[in-house]
Amino acid sequence: MAKNRRNQQRREFIRTGLLASFGSLLGMELVYGKYIPSDLIPLEILSSNSISELLDKHPELIELNDRPWNLETPAHLLNDDVTPADKMFVRNNGSMPQNIDADTWVLRIDGESSEREVQISLRDLKEKFKRHSYQLVIECGGNGRNEFNPPAKGNQWGLGAVSCAQWTGVRLRDVLEYTGMKDDAVYIGYYGADTHLSGKKDQVVISRGVPIRKALEDESLLAYELNGHPIPIANGFPLRLVFGGWPGSTSGKWINRISIRNKVHDGPKMGGQSYRVPCEEVAPGEQVPDENMCIIESMPVKSLITYPRTGAILNSGQSLAIRGHAWAGDDLVSKMEISIDYGQSWKETPVLPPVNRLAWQHFKATVDFPKSGYYEVWAKASSDRGISQPMVVPGWNPKGYLNNACHRIAVKVRP
Ligand SMILES: Nc1nc2c(c(=O)[nH]1)N[C@H]1C(S)=C(S)[C@@H](COP(=O)(O)O)O[C@H]1N2
Ligand SMILES: [Mo]
């Protein structure tokens, strides 16, 4: 099949939904088509396309799961100051919505603590509310899960379930003010248009949220653009929440409803062990009763070396210019340190202020090696509250969240 034609078909496939376009793509009848689960990729399509290709993502994204679709970005692809759309990781809990029509998209606001129930069209959101734009870090709570021992179930994220893109949209605060909130409001909960893997229409995939104080921050957005373009379908087109610095799961995609709650939101994946960690440290492998699990809020301080990629080879006497980003949830990164001797000694290196609150911060360092041989470069960020990244995997927890151990890369210096 000619490349262009294939690209076009692939886009159509994602835009209109898998099944709707599959028959025409094949050019023959889809016998028993009604029994194909909505997120199942027919073999005929999979044999000639990777999931990254189907989602218009960079070919080097790592496929962690194809049901639901989950793609991780390798560290060296995160080198851009602002993450390009095709390098942004994808974390889906269910099947992506199909046949999305931005022109008729409506957001409903309701809940016990809402003054009234309103429906606002995406059009009105764009035309009647002020536009705001911020660079915001979205990091999955399970980023780094693959290092926990005993292992935790779930997507085995390595380093790259993180992004920092330029998000544009309206402030959630402006929308909540327009609707009106009662004094007893404590939380907002979101609902999206994705569908449950079971195929059950009324089963909600994920419905999380944030306390009102986070919802009302300047940088809390209902976004309709990513890096100046419509959001890619896999990342929440046409409307998504973005809560920079908090677990990615709070940043609901394909948003069509927000409830203003008079209690902590209780949608699927708010309770039990989901996106929660033990309120007090536990021993590795311990079972923790649900009532001792606390909701993750701000993410911990962390950094990533994005250049060079691990395994770099240098000539003797050559110095190495490294680059990367650091972030600290709601806090600022105030110190960046580099070690080439397994943490025996650390050298401070400059870290830039964020372009806006909740954006990641860039660091650079020039590293010299005393002689030829094998080295590891370790990077360690500290927040303005004086909290540093641990050098080894931090507190074990049942679901494998919040691994913010120092990132390390291998470097070989030739004789
Ligand atoms: N509606 C909906 N929103 C969602 C999810 C989802 O499965 N459905 N996944 C969440 C999780 S767990 C993460 S980490 C982020 C990932 O955002 P991304 O796929 O745009 O990188 O989206 C969040 N928003
Ligand atoms: Mo996540």
205 CB under 6 A from ligand 1?
yes
- Exposure string (b/e) for 123-160, b if CB count within 10 Å is 16 or more? eebbeebeebebbbbbbbbbbbbbbbeeebebbbbbbb
SS3 label, residue 5: helix
Q: What residue ranges in 195-353 does DSSP mark as E strands?
A: 209-211, 221-226, 229-230, 240-242, 255-261, 276-278, 293-295, 302-307, 312-314, 320-327, 333-339, 347-349
pLDDT in tens, 86-133: 999 999 999 888 888 999 999 999 999 999 999 999 999 999 999 999
- Tell me, in angstroms, the distance from the centre of ligand 2 to residue 131's CA: 26
pTM for this prediction: 0.94
92 CB under 6 A from ligand 1?
yes
SS3 label, residue 25: helix
- Exposure string (b/e) for 210-228, b if CB count within 10 Å is 16 or more? bbbebbbbebbbbbbbbbe
Locate the ligand 1 atom nearest the alpha carbon of residue 190 and give its number: 1
pLDDT of the chain, 415 residues: tens digit per residue:
456 666 666 666 665 555 555 666 667 777 887 777 766 777 777 776 778 888 889 999 999 987 788 999 999 999 999 999 999 999 999 988 888 899 999 999 999 999 999 999 999 999 999 999 999 999 999 999 999 999 999 999 999 999 999 999 999 999 999 999 999 999 999 999 999 988 888 999 999 999 999 999 999 999 999 999 999 999 999 999 999 999 999 999 999 999 999 999 999 999 999 999 999 999 999 999 999 999 999 999 999 999 999 999 999 999 999 999 999 999 999 999 999 999 999 999 999 999 999 999 999 999 999 999 999 999 999 999 999 999 999 999 999 999 999 999 999 999 9
Locate the ligand 1 atom nearest the alpha carbon of residue 247 and give its number: 14
Pairing of strands 312-314, 407-413: parallel
Ligand sitting nearest the alpha carbon of 399: 2
In terms of CATH architecture, what is 102-295? Alpha-Beta Complex (3.90)
> Which CATH number does 302-414 carry?
2.60.40.650
Locate the ligand 1 atom nearest the alpha carbon of residue 248 and give its number: 14
List helix spans (H) across 226-348: none
Q: Which two tokens stand for residue 141?
A: 């709570």
249 CB under 6 A from ligand 1?
yes
Report the residue among 166, 251, 270 best suited for mutation to probe ligand 1: largest number of ligand atoms under 8 A from its CB.
251
Residues of the chain with CATH 2.60.40.650: 302-414
Ligand sitting nearest the alpha carbon of 401: 2
192 CB under 6 A from ligand 1?
yes
Residues of the chain with CATH 3.90.420.10: 102-295
Strand partners, 361: 326
Pairing of strands 373-383, 333-339: antiparallel
> Taking Cα atoms as reference points, which of 118, 106, 109 lies closest to residue 261?
109
pLDDT of res. 259: 98
pLDDT of res. 13: 63
Strand partners, 257: 108, 191
pLDDT of res. 99: 81
Percent of the chain as helix, strand, coil, to the nearest 5: 20, 30, 50
175 CB under 6 A from ligand 1?
no
